[in-house]
Amino acid sequence: MFFRSEYINIAFYALVSGGLAGIIFLLAYTISTLLPDTEKLSTYECGFDPYEDARNAFDVRFYLVAILFIIFDIETVFLFPWGASLCWLPTLGIWSIFDFFLELCLGFVYVWKVGGLEWE
């Protein structure tokens, strides 16, 4: 037997999802209006119109704020599983997450005091 009974559901799901994706793509292509104008074709960078050559470097503060956002965002993701499993954690697990949260807050206060979040 070519298809085992376990793979029939997976094959059906793949066919239905692929067919649905194809239908959505074709509908979006046929229904949409392709009317280019100068506003649509103009360049757009980071929320403002570019005013110089595209090869100019961004200010390093832009990258610092972006990296700090990613770091604090990833660290706060660890709080969600802790909150979901709070009733099953031993005392050491509870105190270790409080230590983690304290270090997260201290790092945030340090970055704030140093001026890493300031934008002139």
pLDDT in tens, 78-89: 888 888 888 888
**pLDDT given at position 53:** 64
pLDDT at 4 over 80: no
pLDDT of residue 101: 86
The pLDDT tens digits for 43-80 are 666 666 666 666 666 677 778 878 888 888 887 788 88
Fold (topology level) of 57-120: Methane Monooxygenase Hydroxylase; Chain G, domain 1 (1.20.58)
DSSP assignment string, 59-107: PHHHHHHHHHHHHHHHHHHTHHHHHHTGGG--HHHHHHHHHHHHHHHHH
Domain ranges of the chain: 57-120
